[in-house]
Amino acid sequence: MHHLGHSDETKEMFQAQSHLYSLTSIFVSSMSLKCAVQLGIPDVINDHKRPITLLELASALRIHPSKTTCLHRLMRVLVHLHIFAETLAPKHEGGGEEVAYLMLHAWSDEDCVKVLRKCRESIVGKNNEQGKVIIIDIVIGETQDDDAEATSTKLFFDMLMMTVVTGRERTEKEWEHLFSKAGFSQHKITPMFGLRSLIEVFP
């Protein structure tokens, strides 16, 4: 990610904004904990007697495969709140590791790709002239600039997107996946609007 400098006054304003967002969405932490208890997640993890992967957890909870991503987003919040710990475990085959345990954010990945494809069509000129798509939206916690409160607020917003609409907040990797599926080749993310970032996408 790229970063733009801010005056101390501007930085304090964005920190205050983040703090207010965090306070207004703090109920999401108890909502997430209640959801975990109702699903029986603590019992499943305890009975497993060893680190459990997301797919193993989803299977034990009898969660439909289409909802696995929702379980991942719930666990991401609970890990951030230190309700559960996250570790890395070897894959069963082939080595490697796996994790055990604003405008596009209101739309599903499928709808976002459709919109982005239309945007790409409109900015690629007939004479090989190319523009760029500009997005202002949340990018979840993969920057050193995010403090714990900012990350919590972004994760709380993600839970709200999951329960209120069909959208989600996304990490940079998740944004990159959308851009790639829509036919874009490059992107640049610049945190500069408090919780939100300037995202420039190039064909």
Domain 8-24+102-202 has CATH 3.40.50.150: yes
- CB count within 10 Å of CB 110 equals 10
Give me the long-range contacts of 105-111 (CB less than 8 A, separation at least 24).
Answer: 105/137, 105/138, 105/157, 105/161, 105/167, 105/168, 105/169, 105/170, 106/161, 106/165, 106/166, 106/167, 107/165, 107/166, 107/167, 108/166, 108/167, 108/168, 109/168, 109/177, 109/178, 111/166
DSSP E strands, the chain: 88-90, 97-99, 133-138, 186-193, 196-202
Please state the pTM of the whole predicted model.
0.56
Query: Among 10-24, 84-98, 161-175, which is the least confidently predicted range?
Result: 84-98
- The tens digit of pLDDT for each residue in 176-201 reads 999 999 999 999 998 876 788 888 88
pLDDT band at 143 (very low <50, low <70, confident <90, very high): low
pLDDT band at 91 (very low <50, low <70, confident <90, very high): low
Q: What is the pLDDT of residue 2?
A: 55
- CB count within 10 Å of CB 120 equals 19
Annotated catalytic residue within 48, 82, 105, 187 = 105
Q: What is the pLDDT of residue 187?
A: 94
Q: Is the pLDDT of residue 75 over 50?
A: yes
**Alpha-carbon distance 199 to 191, whole Å?**
8
Residue 105 annotated as catalytic? yes
- The tens digit of pLDDT for each residue in 16-67 reads 887 787 777 778 888 888 898 899 998 888 788 777 888 899 999 999 988 9
pLDDT band at 137 (very low <50, low <70, confident <90, very high): confident
Query: Among 6-15, 49-58, 115-124, which is the least confidently predicted range?
Result: 6-15
Q: What is the pLDDT of residue 182?
A: 93
pLDDT band at 126 (very low <50, low <70, confident <90, very high): low
pLDDT band at 5 (very low <50, low <70, confident <90, very high): low
> How high does pLDDT run on average in the chain?
80
